Structure 1
Amino acid sequence: MTTVELTRFKVPADRADELLQARTAMLADFREDREGFLDAQLIRVDDETWLDIVWWRSSGDFAASREKGANLPGIKAFFAPITELISAEEGTTSDYRA
């Protein structure tokens, strides 16, 4: 089973471009530094609400990533415009296809 991270957060509409510009470097940092990172998809729900779906090889890989936090510049830049964490959930799927 693949672990799925579902994180919903707020970014002011006037900082959306900042978030999107930081996304490429954040994903590169994840690929380089986060064992078990498989893929991610960012969804804009409304002007200020976003849903980030991240696939991990295992729950342990996801937990290890959370412990690292914003330890690299690309990750830190992506987190910077986020003003509110709405929810963070973990689930599993057998449907993930690389």
Structure 2
Amino acid sequence: MTTVELTRFRTHPGRADELLRARPGMLAAFGADRAGFVEARLVRLPDDEWLDIVVWESPEDFAASRAKGANLPGIAAFFAPISDLIGSEEGDTP
């Protein structure tokens, strides 16, 4: 069973390109630093909103990642253009 993290957020106006440029570095940092990271997909929504869908091997892996926060430059660079967290949920796949 895997855990899926769904995070909806908004970027600062005009900073979507910065977010997209930082994405590969964030994914590389997750792969190197986060146990249980499986994959991530970023979905662009209207009005500078985004949905990040991240798959983890277990709820424990997700919790450990969340506790680390933006501990590496590649992750911090991805978070920098984000202005508002709209919502965050997690669920397990059967």
The normalised TM-score by structure 1 is: 0.93
Q: Answer yes or no: is 1:62 the counterpart of 2:49.
A: no
Cα offset, 1:86, TM superposition: 0.3
Query: In the aligned structure 2, how far is the partner of 1:12 from the partner of 1:76?
Result: 15
Q: Answer yes or no: is 1:31 the counterpart of 2:31.
A: yes
Query: After TM superposition, where is structure 1 displaced by more than 6 Å over at least 4 residues in a row?
Result: none
Identity %: 66
Unaligned runs of 5+ residues in structure 2 are none
**Paired position in structure 2 for 1:92:** 92
Instruction: State the Cα deviation string for residues 23-68 of structure 1 (Å, max 9, x = none).
Output: 0000000000000000000000113100000000000000000000
Number of residues paired by the alignment? 94
Unaligned runs of 5+ residues in structure 1 are none
Cα offset, 1:12, TM superposition: 2.6
Residue type at the aligned position of 1:81:
P
The normalised TM-score by structure 2 is: 0.97
Residue type at the aligned position of 1:74:
G
Cα offset, 1:13, TM superposition: 3.8
